Structure 1
Amino acid sequence: MPIRTHIADRIGEIVIDHPPVNALDSQGWNELPGLVERLGRDREVRCVLIRAEGRGFCGGVDIKEMQAHPERIVELNRGNFLTFRAIRGCEVPVVTAVHNFVIGGGIGICGASDVVIAADNAYFSLPEVDRGAMGGASHLQRMFPLQKVRAAFFTGGRIPAAEAYRLGAVEAVHPSERLTDEARAFAAIIASKSRRALVLAKEALNGIEPRDVDHGYRFEQGFTLEMYMHEDSQRSRDEFVATGTAAKF
């Protein structure tokens, strides 16, 4: 199973485990929202923890699927949107633990979460400009200052965990071998609180945000679709699938 869940000690865990790089296809992205919502509604659960196994946290979307089936872009977009909205709207706090690469849709998961715990080898990246796509900046901008987001987006560059911690985007940075234990320990502190208090606190905090991240991401997705319809998008995907590098223009 690419995604599995379990509940222990009032923490509902969602584990992404889809080798080689935890890049989910349109089906995977459309399954994830239901898992988040189900755990969030469970009266036993007081905190949801999202983490991953393997080489890195999340490689985003399955570029090979989009290359072979570009008609699935609308289905994929909807799955991304529903996933991030479900995480942000989850009844209880969501903690996300990340290691190594956090790319594309992985950014959306983090940006929609309440708390991010990172391994010391983690980095955040939106390489969409080199993949013939758009989207993700709305959630990255929920984590980082505006100019930092634009610099990363225009260059397709990386923001390492240490820099993310300096800027306040992640709560803590731990050695990768301790990440899961440390994330569970942090989630356990939340899970020790009154569920009712957590539910009300989550709703209140979402309500006082200065902007609507869901609306912002939905706005971005219009440009994602427009980009996918341009010939440069196919050229970018072809080059990435063939060589793993960015196309030259």
Structure 2
Amino acid sequence: MPITTTIQNRIAEIVFDVPPVNAFDSATWLSIPDMITAAARNPEVNCVLIRAAAESRGFCGGVDIKEMQAHPERITLLNRGNYLTFKAIREAEVPVVSAVHKFVIGGGIGICGASDTIIAADDAFFSLPEVDRGAMGGASHLSRMLPLHKVRAAFFTGGNIPAEEAYRLGAVEKVVPRAALEAEARAFCAVIASKSRKALVIAKEALNGLEPRDVDRGYRWEQGFTLEMYMHEDSQKARDAFVATGKAAEF
């Protein structure tokens, strides 16, 4: 299967392996929430680790732009899959750690932003290229990671934020060599997994309740603008250009 779950030593590992770039279509996004919820509810699991397969070119390329180019009417399915995935991560009963390498794009930002902790390889970078893809969304979760003006600069330019910069700004717990990412992530999760499951469940609920704003509600607000953007002719032009050339359209 392209996305698998294994459980060992009280850690559930959810691994993405959807070539070529872990960019998920609407059906795949809709399948992920149940995987996360089931893993976190398992009484034998104290921590969930989300990562990409070792041979993957990057952590997550976001959504399948080719699907949206060919089937723009599926935007509501995609929106729902994204929303439910990120919500499932944030509301998971136990802590969720994302271990990322290379590109963390679009929906990958949502996964990381909804997570409790991020471990990054030294080649990782974070990006929201939505402004160049005819879409919106992702700032709500990036705002859990980075300061307001950094989020806006990244969103308006579609630029990349290297792992070291994300670490400097407090978004990333640790930056490690690419070859050591899996081992370092498992070691970090093992510390969490050694705790009382009951204590972890209570702590997760308490920490979520302490947040100054509702990130899920904020993301739903954003998705209304995503739908508005998808209905504009510039949105289709942006997707056509990306699929044809891999570059942003000119306006």
With the shorter chain as reference, the TM-score category is over 0.9
For residues 150 and 185 of structure 2, the distance between their equivalents in structure 1, rounded to whole angstroms, comes to 26
- Which runs of structure 2 are paired with 1:65-104 in the superposition (5 Å)? 65-104=67-106
4+ runs deviating over 4 angstroms: none
Cα-to-partner distance string for 1:74-108 (whole Å, 9 max, x where unaligned): 00000000000000000000000000000000000
**Count of equivalent residues:** 249
- Which residue in the other structure is 2:190 paired with? 188
Residue 174 (structure 1) shift: 0.3
* Aligned partner (choices 111, 114, 129) of residue 112 of structure 1: 114
* Aligned partner (choices 153, 156, 159) of residue 157 of structure 1: 159
- Which residue in the other structure is 1:176 paired with? 178
Question: SS state of the match for residue 246, structure 1?
Answer: coil
| Matched residue type, 1:59 | G
RMSD value, Cα: 0.4
Question: SS state of the match for residue 221, structure 1?
Answer: helix
Cα-to-partner distance string for 1:53-79 (whole Å, 9 max, x where unaligned): 200000000000001111110000000
For residues 190 and 204 of structure 1, the distance between their equivalents in structure 2, rounded to whole angstroms, comes to 16
For residues 210 and 143 of structure 2, the distance between their equivalents in structure 1, rounded to whole angstroms, comes to 16
Task: Say whether the 8 Å CA contact 1:84–1:108 is kept in structure 2.
Answer: yes
Structure 1, unmatched stretches of 5+, are none
- Which residue in the other structure is 1:18 paired with? 18
- Which residue in the other structure is 2:229 paired with? 227
- Which residue in the other structure is 1:243 paired with? 245
For residues 90 and 232 of structure 2, the distance between their equivalents in structure 1, rounded to whole angstroms, comes to 31
TM-score of the two chains, using structure 2 as the length reference = 0.99
- Which residue in the other structure is 2:34 paired with? 34
Question: SS state of the match for residue 121, structure 1?
Answer: coil
Question: SS state of the match for residue 145, structure 2?
Answer: coil
Task: Say whether the 8 Å CA contact 1:133–1:227 is kept in structure 2.
Answer: yes
Cα-to-partner distance string for 1:32-71 (whole Å, 9 max, x where unaligned): 0000000010000000000002000000000000011111
- Which residue in the other structure is 1:133 paired with? 135
Question: SS state of the match for residue 6, structure 1?
Answer: strand
Residue 147 (structure 1) shift: 0.1
Structure 2, unmatched stretches of 5+, are none
- Which residue in the other structure is 1:3 paired with? 3
For residues 97 and 131 of structure 2, the distance between their equivalents in structure 1, rounded to whole angstroms, comes to 28
Identity score, percent: 76
| Matched residue type, 1:132 | G
For residues 24 and 159 of structure 2, the distance between their equivalents in structure 1, rounded to whole angstroms, comes to 21
For residues 65 and 100 of structure 1, the distance between their equivalents in structure 2, rounded to whole angstroms, comes to 23
Cα-to-partner distance string for 1:151-185 (whole Å, 9 max, x where unaligned): 00000000000000000000000000100010000
Task: Say whether the 8 Å CA contact 1:128–1:153 is kept in structure 2.
Answer: yes
- Which residue in the other structure is 1:52 paired with? 52
Residue 2 (structure 1) shift: 1.8
2:216 maps to 1:214: yes
